[in-house]
Amino acid sequence: MKEASKPKKPSALMKPVHVSDALAEIVGRGPMPRTEITKRLWDYIKKNKLQDAKAKRNINPDQKLARVLGGQQQIDMFQLTKKVSAHIKA
């Protein structure tokens, strides 16, 4: 017979966080979990066709996204998370 298990603590990714004004223009006002921020960010990138046509790993920021990323230069999707995390506060 199994012991009664404790309720699972939500992961850090599911904990609601606050977003900066620049990021809120893209994903909406917080607080929201990091998973939702990532989902909405990718929805924005795909809707506005910001993914490079040939190199799908690269993102070509528009003006709104450039305010979050700190410039208009192309960015690798793996660097995107690091840049966005600067706009998230617990």
Structure confidence by residue, pLDDT tens digits, 30-84: 799 999 999 999 999 999 999 999 999 999 999 999 999 998 899 998 898 899 9
> 74 with 52: CB under 8 angstroms?
yes
Q: What is the pTM of this model?
A: 0.81
Residue 7 has pLDDT above 70, yes or no: no
pLDDT for position 30: 78
**How many whole angstroms separate alpha carbon 54 and alpha carbon 40?**
23
Amino acid code (one letter) for 68: V
8 exposure class (CB count in 10 Å sphere: 0-12, 13-18, 19+): exposed
Give mean pLDDT, residues 10-29: 88
Residue 75, judged by CB atoms within 10 A of its CB (0-12, 13-18, 19+), counts as: buried
Sorted by where each begins, the domain ranges of the chain are 14-89
Query: What CATH architecture does domain 14-89 belong to?
Result: Orthogonal Bundle (1.10)
